[in-house]
Amino acid sequence: GEDVEQSLFLSVREGDSSVINCTYTDSSSTYLYWYKQEPGAGLQLLTYIFSNMDMKQDQRLTVLLNKKDKHLSLRIADTQTGDSAIYFCAEGTGRRALTFGSGTRLQVQP
Amino acid sequence: DAGITQSPRHKVTETGTPVTLRCHQTENHRYMYWYRQDPGHGLRLIHYSYGVKDTDKGEVSDGYSVSRSKTEDFLLTLESATSSQTSVYFCAISRLAGGLSSYEQYFGPGTRLTVT
């Protein structure tokens, strides 16, 4: 079956780069997504990458995809305290519902 | 945020009572989903809908039913609430990103349900 795995916790200092990693098992996934969830809030779509791409950059966010190893990462440059949140990786194909990882809690220390 | 609202936002109910959660969207999207979020599990799919009166089960559908009689409303019913259904429930819609043939999924603000 489909499975998406993430590490549970990451702590960085303000101004450093953060790298959140994700692995997935469904090789038919067309898109891989990153969502951000702040306490008590819904999920905010941050960015996503098509499975035939290696990299996507969007301002401070860089997504890297290694399709051979089914590994996805999200790099946040110049991490700020406002980036503290839970980050979810998800995979999907077309209109199908997404399969989510269990989330990585990012803590940014001043 | 794709114009998605959920009601109620918080609810406390007793074991054995029926509960209905409502998801309302204003942008006429066909594809809608109900997920539940629990610690350590991320989000798991309960039911989904590809249009009016077109619904199907997801990964964790036992104890839940859904209805979609209008495009804008997707209702989730807990037929007889149990403590294991204490969770945060999220509704989502899926829409095509213009010109990219890619689907983007957007979420409502969530409903926190406590079953005592």
Pairing between β-strand B111-115 and β-strand B10-13 as defined by DSSP bridges: parallel
Per-residue pLDDT tens digits for B16-56: 999 999 999 999 999 999 999 998 788 999 999 999 999 99
A33 touches chain B (CB under 8 A): yes
Q: How many CB atoms lie within 10 A of CB A54?
A: 10
Give me the mean pLDDT over the A4-19 stretch.
95
At residue A64 the predicted structure's pLDDT band, cuts being 50, 70 and 90, is very high
**CB pair distance less than 8 Å for A88 and B43:** yes
- Decide if A92 touches B, using CB distance below 8 A: yes
Residues of chain A positioned with their CB less than 8 A from the CB of B106:
45
How far is Cα A1 from Cα B71, in angstroms, rounded to an integer? 31
Q: Radius of gyration over alpha carbons of chain B, in Å?
A: 14
The C-alpha of A63 sits at a distance from chain B's nearest C-alpha, in angstroms, of 16
Cβ contact A97–B102 (<8 Å): no
Provide the 3-class DSSP secondary structure of residue B83. helix
DSSP A41-80: --EEEEEEEETT-SEEEETTEEEEEETTTTEEEEEESS--
Mean pLDDT score, B96-112: 84
Q: Do B103 and A100 touch (CB under 8 A)?
A: no
Nearest to B7 by CA among B84, B103, B72, B96: B72
Judged against a pLDDT cut of 70, whether residue B1 lies above it is answered with no
Chain B residue whose CA is closest to A48: B104
Q: Give the whole-number percent of chain B exceeding pLDDT 70.
A: 96
Confidence of residue A51 (pLDDT cuts 50, 70, 90): confident
**In 3-state terms, what secondary structure has residue B85?**
helix
- Report helix, strand or coil for B84: helix
In A, minimum Cα distance to B45 occurs at: A97
Confidence of residue B64 (pLDDT cuts 50, 70, 90): very high
